Amino acid sequence: GTAYGFCSCGSVPGLYLSLINRFSFASGSAETWGNCTLARNTLNATGASSSTHGFILNGYAGAPHNAGVNVIDKFPFASSAGATDFGDLNTQRGAVQCSYNETRAYISGGRQQFQPPHATHSNIQTFLFANNSSNTTHGDLTAPRQWLSSASSKTHGYVMGGANDGGIDKFAFASSGASRMSGDLNGGVSTTRFQFGGSGHSSDTRGYTAGGTTLNAFIDSFSYASDSAAGTSHSNLVKGTYTHAGSTSTT
């Protein structure tokens, strides 16, 4: 949150990538920062951050598109040595999102595979950053959701939007299970604005989601303090985009 953002994997036409890149919040200059242990398709993996390491979670690897991944990769912020295998999650899935606090990651929703039967998940799974054998279930979202975005306060995780869903789910890090906040994102469930593929961002007081189908440029935010607070328009991206990655500095 103070110096760099990191972006991992993705794809270009005909090729899945294993690269980890970092970029400076101060200048925007980017550099390669090692590699993941396997290449992962775009649209589908997610990430979390401890104070010292980045974690790359789930996704789809190689061809065909339904090759789901449950591998957790871990890489150090201080070294470009690349990632090591940190263990496995319980489910192979992609189109997921992750909230996290200082000690744990919480992975929500997602789809098991691209090709039929397209099993969409409501499960929330958690693991400790310090222990790769600590995977446990943390309850469920209020409905199965995929291609969603996420935010984190100090005490709660938030899941926003997703395919055909403009709602906001909230769950406590200290106890399992999610509840649906009464307010929707500004796009709402009746529009294509936040159907899927936006990026999630967090401040100390608000969650943000940016972009999404159909190549929109909207940024919405909502308050952590009120369960009835609907998303409000915050500003716009320079260019409409979706299924992109996001990161957050302190400002």
pLDDT given for residue 43 in this prediction: 67
pLDDT given for residue 189 in this prediction: 47
pLDDT given for residue 220 in this prediction: 87
d(C-alpha 108, C-alpha 148), whole Å: 9
Q: What's the average model confidence in pLDDT over 81-98?
A: 92
Residue with more model confidence, 234 or 173: 173
Q: What's the average model confidence in pLDDT over 174-194?
A: 72
Percentage of the chain lying above the pLDDT 70 cut: 90
pLDDT band at 67; cut points 50, 70, 90: confident
pLDDT given for residue 166 in this prediction: 79
pLDDT given for residue 86 in this prediction: 96
pLDDT given for residue 229 in this prediction: 64
d(C-alpha 74, C-alpha 61), whole Å: 17
Per-residue pLDDT of 194-231, as tens digits, reads 557 889 999 999 999 898 876 778 888 899 998 766 67
Give the lowest-confidence range in 21-35, 56-70, 99-113, 207-221. 56-70
Per-residue pLDDT of 122-133, as tens digits, reads 999 999 999 987
Residues 6+ positions from 60 with CB-CB distance below 8 Å = 40, 41, 44, 45, 66, 67, 68, 69, 94, 113, 114
pLDDT given for residue 187 in this prediction: 55
> Is 199 in a helix, a strand, or coil?
strand
Task: Assess whether pLDDT exceeds 50 at residue 190.
Answer: no
Q: What's the average model confidence in pLDDT over 52-59?
A: 95
d(C-alpha 101, C-alpha 204), whole Å: 12
pLDDT given for residue 192 in this prediction: 45
pLDDT band at 65; cut points 50, 70, 90: low
pLDDT given for residue 216 in this prediction: 78
Average pLDDT over the chain, rounded to an integer = 87
Contact 206, 226 (CB under 8 A): no
Residue 238: both structure tokens together: 């320079």
pLDDT band at 157; cut points 50, 70, 90: very high
Q: What's the average model confidence in pLDDT over 176-185?
A: 84
pLDDT given for residue 64 in this prediction: 58
pLDDT band at 162; cut points 50, 70, 90: confident
d(C-alpha 55, C-alpha 37), whole Å: 12
d(C-alpha 81, C-alpha 141), whole Å: 36
d(C-alpha 82, C-alpha 37), whole Å: 8
Per-residue pLDDT of 74-89, as tens digits, reads 999 999 999 999 999 9
Q: Within 13 Å and on the Cβ side, how many CA atoms surround 85?
A: 9
